[in-house]
Amino acid sequence: MASQYTKLQSIDVDDNLLLPYQVSTQKQYKPQNKILSYFYRIKAYIIKKWKILLILTFVLLLIAGVILIPVLVLRYKTSSLSDQCDEYGEEIINSANKGTEAYSRLSRLVTLFPGRLSGSEQLENAIDWIQDMMIGDGFDLVKTDDVEVTHWVRGDESATILQPYHRKMNMLGLGGSIAGNVTAEVLVVSSFEELDMVKDQVMGKIVLFNAIFTNYSSTVQYRSGGASAAAKYGGVAALVRSITPYSLGTPHTGVMFYQNGINKIPTAAITLEDADLIQNLVWLNQTVIVNLYMEAQTMETNAISRNVMAQINGSTYPDEVVVIGGHTDSWDVAQGAMDDGGGIIVAWEALRLIKSLGIIPMRTIRVVGWTNEENGAAGGENYAQLYTNETFFSIESDIGVTQPLGFNVMASDKTISDLQLIAEKVLSPIKATSIVEGEVGTDNGFLVSNGKPGAQLITDESKYFWYHHTAGDAMDKMDSSQMNQCVAAMATMALCISNWAGPLN
């Protein structure tokens, strides 16, 4: 009996002494280590939950496909549209974000040569300086083309309220205006339609167009056409509420035009504050008498100015040219930092950056500083007469070089769609991805009118018209990091278009 008990003790209880509920017909495996234990647990879980896991795997693959497939398709499309656009774009943007010479060069330009109005010594000295600097940059070609331009001179000027009290107003004569010394009662209107309604009251009056700024293209008509509209009904002078939504007592100048067959009268811009002051006095039944004194004159002989340009020759299609640029001239009262020193400097720096990175475009890329944009646009017209046939595409910058948003494009629907793909893929790091059909610049507009596709760099212009055509257009309004991003946007788009596979229209 004792030997039998000893034998039972030698048996492994865990292996042989099973309770009823532990009895199973399945073969039992004892894992040899923890790794195998985990493996068998996972295997058992998969066997038990295989339907749920299969559905989950399908959902994850579907989500991945929705995300990844468009990215892969976009990468394929951009590479098929433009050779090495992705790689070069990334390199350009990374380099520009580290810093460019745009801000420092603009500062030197506007400090040394402010008030670059057509016909002035300041403008021609600025063009000489730009040309010398471009030669120093080592571009493949640097040159200028002579352009005959309007030569208007401001002279002394003033505007003063004489009645119901004496008050000197801030004013700026409008470019192209004649001289005059007029003292007369002021008639205030808010639109051309209102002028037509009170036409019998206009004779012998100074007409003030107190039109509230809505947008530039709509409101600027009172600056450009106000003088002839007033003179048509016998007005002796015209004043215009400055074309701006904001003012700190700053008048805004700009070009105006006389209509053939209508008497020429002097015209000037006054501040928002003074325009509203006169309006309120009239509403209070006060007779407002103003003296407008102007010595302005357009010289009988036009001046000679120049378009200045530099280029990197294309490796494959050197006779097809991608044009980028802005205008070199500015109004006489301004440093011209935003309008448009920043535009020409950013385009110039975009070309210099491409060269510094050792990138050779397939098509020639040319930067152009157009002359006389502000009061005649002879530079843009002259350039188009000479170079339309060789132009492949053009990009202008002339609404400030603040945060870049994308490009307005005048081209076929397909070209706009293809450029949108490029922007979404390549320019997303700087958020300049908006490609929409819209107006191009004044200067490259001549190329577009001749049938060539073109674009304009679009930026955040929320404050642009605060300083436009004023003495406040100066370097303190500029931001170096935003200028660097404009350089990146301009250089990247120019390079991608220069490497375009096939024609653009």
The dihedral built from the CA positions of residue 337, 343, 348 and 349, taken in this order, carries a sign that is positive
**Residue 87 falls in the annotated catalytic set:** no
Classified as helix, coil or strand, 396 is strand
CA distance linking residue 494 with residue 357, whole number of Å:
14
To which H or E segment does residue 317 belong?
strand 317-327
CA distance linking residue 269 with residue 209, whole number of Å:
10
Angle between helices 121-137 and 102-112 (to 10 degrees): 150
CA distance linking residue 431 with residue 170, whole number of Å:
40
> How do beta strands 297-298 and 267-270 pair?
unpaired
List Cα–Cα distances, 307 to 257, 354, 369, 378, in angstroms: 24, 22, 6, 10
CA distance linking residue 135 with residue 137, whole number of Å:
5
| Residue 440 contacts residue 493 (beta carbons within 8 Å) | no
Nearest to 478 by CA among 349, 340, 326: 340
With a CB cutoff of 8 Å and minimum separation 6, the contacts of 359 are 88, 91, 92, 495
> How do beta strands 289-294 and 157-163 pair?
antiparallel
Nearest to 243 by CA among 253, 233, 234: 253
Report phi then psi at 154, rounded to 5. Answer: -70, -55
With a CB cutoff of 8 Å and minimum separation 6, the contacts of 157 are 171, 172, 173, 268, 293, 294, 295, 296
Report phi then psi at 304, rounded to 5. Answer: -105, 120
Across the strands, what pairs with 408? 436, 456
- Of 91, 373, 374, 396, the catalytic one is 373
CA distance linking residue 342 with residue 334, whole number of Å:
13
Nearest to 414 by CA among 325, 505, 485: 505
**Which residues are catalytic, by number?**
373
